[in-house]
Protein backbone atom coordinates (compact mmCIF):
# COMPACT_ATOMS: atom_id res chain seq x y z
CA UNK A 1 0.00 0.00 0.00
CA UNK A 2 1.45 3.37 -0.98
CA UNK A 3 1.98 6.25 1.45
CA UNK A 4 -0.73 8.47 -0.08
CA UNK A 5 -3.37 5.76 0.33
CA UNK A 6 -2.22 5.17 3.89
CA UNK A 7 -2.38 8.89 4.69
CA UNK A 8 -5.90 9.10 3.25
CA UNK A 9 -6.99 6.16 5.39
CA UNK A 10 -5.35 7.73 8.46
CA UNK A 11 -7.05 11.08 7.81
CA UNK A 12 -10.40 9.41 7.27
CA UNK A 13 -10.11 7.44 10.49
CA UNK A 14 -8.94 10.47 12.48
CA UNK A 15 -11.88 12.70 11.53
CA UNK A 16 -14.01 11.41 14.44
CA UNK A 17 -11.19 12.07 16.90
CA UNK A 18 -10.68 15.53 15.38
CA UNK A 19 -14.39 16.34 15.68
CA UNK A 20 -14.52 15.22 19.31
CA UNK A 21 -11.36 17.18 20.12
CA UNK A 22 -12.84 20.34 18.58
CA UNK A 23 -15.82 19.90 20.90
CA UNK A 24 -13.51 19.33 23.87
CA UNK A 25 -11.58 22.50 23.02
CA UNK A 26 -14.80 24.46 22.46
CA UNK A 27 -16.08 23.42 25.89
CA UNK A 28 -13.34 25.51 27.45
CA UNK A 29 -10.39 24.49 29.55
CA UNK A 30 -10.17 25.33 33.20
CA UNK A 31 -8.83 23.78 36.36
CA UNK A 32 -5.72 21.69 36.77
CA UNK A 33 -4.94 21.13 33.08
CA UNK A 34 -3.43 23.68 30.74
CA UNK A 35 -4.71 23.62 27.17
CA UNK A 36 -1.45 22.01 25.95
CA UNK A 37 -1.50 19.37 28.69
CA UNK A 38 -5.15 18.56 27.96
CA UNK A 39 -4.46 18.39 24.22
CA UNK A 40 -1.53 16.01 24.72
CA UNK A 41 -3.57 13.84 27.11
CA UNK A 42 -6.40 13.47 24.59
CA UNK A 43 -4.04 13.14 21.61
CA UNK A 44 -2.00 10.36 23.22
CA UNK A 45 -5.11 8.43 24.20
CA UNK A 46 -6.88 8.87 20.85
CA UNK A 47 -3.69 8.14 18.90
CA UNK A 48 -2.99 5.00 20.94
CA UNK A 49 -6.47 3.58 20.45
CA UNK A 50 -6.58 4.55 16.78
CA UNK A 51 -3.26 2.72 16.24
CA UNK A 52 -4.18 -0.30 18.41
CA UNK A 53 -7.51 -1.13 16.80
CA UNK A 54 -6.06 -1.93 13.35
CA UNK A 55 -3.60 -4.33 15.04
CA UNK A 56 -6.50 -6.17 16.68
CA UNK A 57 -8.43 -6.18 13.40
CA UNK A 58 -5.36 -7.38 11.50
CA UNK A 59 -4.85 -10.22 13.97
CA UNK A 60 -8.48 -11.32 13.60
CA UNK A 61 -8.31 -11.03 9.82
CA UNK A 62 -5.05 -13.00 9.65
CA UNK A 63 -6.61 -15.87 11.57
CA UNK A 64 -9.43 -16.05 9.05
CA UNK A 65 -7.33 -15.38 5.93
CA UNK A 66 -6.82 -19.05 5.02
CA UNK A 67 -10.60 -19.54 4.98
CA UNK A 68 -11.44 -16.29 3.25
CA UNK A 69 -8.36 -15.80 1.03
CA UNK A 70 -10.11 -16.01 -2.33
CA UNK A 71 -12.70 -13.47 -1.20
CA UNK A 72 -10.26 -11.06 0.47
CA UNK A 73 -10.72 -8.18 -1.98
CA UNK A 74 -14.49 -8.43 -1.65
CA UNK A 75 -14.22 -8.41 2.15
CA UNK A 76 -11.94 -5.36 2.07
CA UNK A 77 -14.31 -3.60 -0.33
CA UNK A 78 -17.44 -4.42 1.72
CA UNK A 79 -15.85 -3.43 5.04
CA UNK A 80 -14.55 -0.09 3.73
CA UNK A 81 -17.89 0.53 2.00
CA UNK A 82 -19.82 -0.20 5.21
CA UNK A 83 -17.49 1.91 7.37
CA UNK A 84 -17.70 4.77 4.86
CA UNK A 85 -21.50 4.59 4.71
CA UNK A 86 -21.67 4.41 8.53
CA UNK A 87 -19.53 7.53 8.89
CA UNK A 88 -21.62 9.43 6.34
CA UNK A 89 -24.90 8.26 7.89
CA UNK A 90 -23.86 9.28 11.40
CA UNK A 91 -22.78 12.70 10.17
CA UNK A 92 -26.07 13.28 8.36
CA UNK A 93 -28.23 12.25 11.34
CA UNK A 94 -26.34 14.21 14.01
CA UNK A 95 -27.21 17.78 14.77
CA UNK A 96 -23.63 18.99 14.43
CA UNK A 97 -23.57 20.67 17.82
CA UNK A 98 -20.95 19.98 20.44
CA UNK A 99 -21.88 18.95 23.92
CA UNK A 100 -20.42 21.73 26.03
CA UNK A 101 -20.69 19.81 29.30
CA UNK A 102 -17.45 17.89 29.00
CA UNK A 103 -15.63 16.69 32.10
CA UNK A 104 -12.02 17.04 31.00
CA UNK A 105 -10.80 15.16 34.07
CA UNK A 106 -12.82 11.98 33.63
CA UNK A 107 -10.64 9.05 32.58
CA UNK A 108 -13.79 7.04 31.96
CA UNK A 109 -15.03 9.64 29.48
CA UNK A 110 -11.64 9.84 27.79
CA UNK A 111 -11.50 6.04 27.46
CA UNK A 112 -15.04 5.83 26.05
CA UNK A 113 -14.38 8.63 23.57
CA UNK A 114 -11.16 6.95 22.44
CA UNK A 115 -12.94 3.61 21.91
CA UNK A 116 -15.87 5.25 20.13
CA UNK A 117 -13.65 7.18 17.74
CA UNK A 118 -11.49 4.16 16.90
CA UNK A 119 -14.04 1.40 16.21
CA UNK A 120 -13.80 2.07 12.48
CA UNK A 121 -10.06 1.45 12.68
CA UNK A 122 -10.79 -2.12 13.82
CA UNK A 123 -12.59 -2.84 10.54
CA UNK A 124 -9.79 -1.18 8.56
CA UNK A 125 -7.26 -3.37 10.39
CA UNK A 126 -9.30 -6.43 9.47
CA UNK A 127 -9.02 -5.25 5.86
CA UNK A 128 -5.23 -4.86 6.21
CA UNK A 129 -4.96 -8.62 6.75
CA UNK A 130 -6.15 -9.21 3.20
CA UNK A 131 -4.00 -6.68 1.37
CA UNK A 132 -0.28 -6.00 1.12
CA UNK A 133 0.46 -3.56 3.95
CA UNK A 134 3.31 -3.02 6.39
CA UNK A 135 1.25 -3.13 9.59
CA UNK A 136 3.78 -1.40 11.84
CA UNK A 137 4.22 1.47 9.39
CA UNK A 138 0.45 1.73 8.82
CA UNK A 139 -0.49 1.89 12.50
CA UNK A 140 2.33 4.36 13.16
CA UNK A 141 0.96 6.68 10.47
CA UNK A 142 -2.60 6.24 11.75
CA UNK A 143 -1.57 6.95 15.34
CA UNK A 144 0.54 9.99 14.42
CA UNK A 145 -2.13 11.52 12.19
CA UNK A 146 -4.72 11.04 14.93
CA UNK A 147 -2.36 12.51 17.52
CA UNK A 148 -1.72 15.62 15.41
CA UNK A 149 -5.35 16.12 14.40
CA UNK A 150 -6.49 15.78 18.01
CA UNK A 151 -4.09 18.50 19.15
CA UNK A 152 -5.17 20.72 16.25
CA UNK A 153 -8.83 20.01 17.01
CA UNK A 154 -8.55 21.03 20.65
CA UNK A 155 -6.71 24.19 19.67
CA UNK A 156 -9.25 25.00 16.96
CA UNK A 157 -12.17 24.31 19.28
CA UNK A 158 -10.62 26.49 21.94
CA UNK A 159 -10.26 29.39 19.50
CA UNK A 160 -13.78 29.14 18.13
CA UNK A 161 -16.87 29.86 20.14
CA UNK A 162 -19.26 28.59 17.50
CA UNK A 163 -18.46 25.48 15.52
CA UNK A 164 -19.50 25.47 11.89
CA UNK A 165 -20.74 22.08 10.80
CA UNK A 166 -18.16 21.42 8.08
CA UNK A 167 -19.40 17.91 7.31
CA UNK A 168 -15.86 16.50 7.47
CA UNK A 169 -17.21 13.04 8.24
CA UNK A 170 -19.00 12.91 4.89
CA UNK A 171 -15.69 13.48 3.09
CA UNK A 172 -14.00 10.87 5.30
CA UNK A 173 -16.72 8.34 4.48
CA UNK A 174 -16.44 9.04 0.76
CA UNK A 175 -12.65 8.55 0.91
CA UNK A 176 -13.06 5.14 2.58
CA UNK A 177 -15.65 4.06 0.00
CA UNK A 178 -13.38 5.17 -2.86
CA UNK A 179 -10.44 3.29 -1.30
CA UNK A 180 -12.61 0.17 -1.05
CA UNK A 181 -13.53 0.49 -4.73
CA UNK A 182 -9.84 0.99 -5.58
CA UNK A 183 -8.89 -2.23 -3.74
CA UNK A 184 -11.65 -4.16 -5.50
CA UNK A 185 -10.65 -2.88 -8.95
CA UNK A 186 -6.96 -3.60 -8.32
CA UNK A 187 -7.73 -7.21 -7.36
CA UNK A 188 -10.29 -7.84 -10.09
CA UNK A 189 -8.05 -6.47 -12.84
CA UNK A 190 -4.68 -7.40 -11.25
CA UNK A 191 -3.42 -3.82 -11.34
Phi and psi for 96 in degrees, rounded to 5? 85, 5
In the predicted structure, residue 182 carries a pLDDT above the cut 90: no
Alpha carbon distance 16, 13 (integer Å): 7
Q: pLDDT tens across 67-77, in order? A: 766 776 777 77
In the predicted structure, residue 165 carries a pLDDT above the cut 50: no
Three-state SS for 95? coil
Report the pLDDT value the prediction gives residue 161, as an integer from 0 to 100.
47
In the predicted structure, residue 82 carries a pLDDT above the cut 90: no
The model's confidence at residue 11, banded by pLDDT at 50, 70 and 90, is very high
Mean pLDDT of 85-94: 73
**Chain-wide mean pLDDT for the chain?**
79
Q: 36 near 152, Cβ under 8 Å?
A: no
Q: pLDDT tens across 104-157, in order? A: 557 877 888 788 788 888 888 988 988 889 999 999 999 999 999 999 998 887
| Residues contacting residue 41 through CB under 8 Å, at least 6 positions apart | 33, 110
pTM summary value: 0.72
Q: Which helix (H) or strand (E) holds 29?
A: none
Alpha carbon distance 36, 15 (integer Å): 20
Mean pLDDT of 85-101: 64
Amino acid sequence: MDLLTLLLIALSLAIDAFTVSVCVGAAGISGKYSRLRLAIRFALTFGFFQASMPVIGFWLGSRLNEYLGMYDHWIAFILLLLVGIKIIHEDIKKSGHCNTKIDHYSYKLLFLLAIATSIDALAVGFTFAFINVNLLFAVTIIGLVTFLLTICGIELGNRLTKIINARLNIYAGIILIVLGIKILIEHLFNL
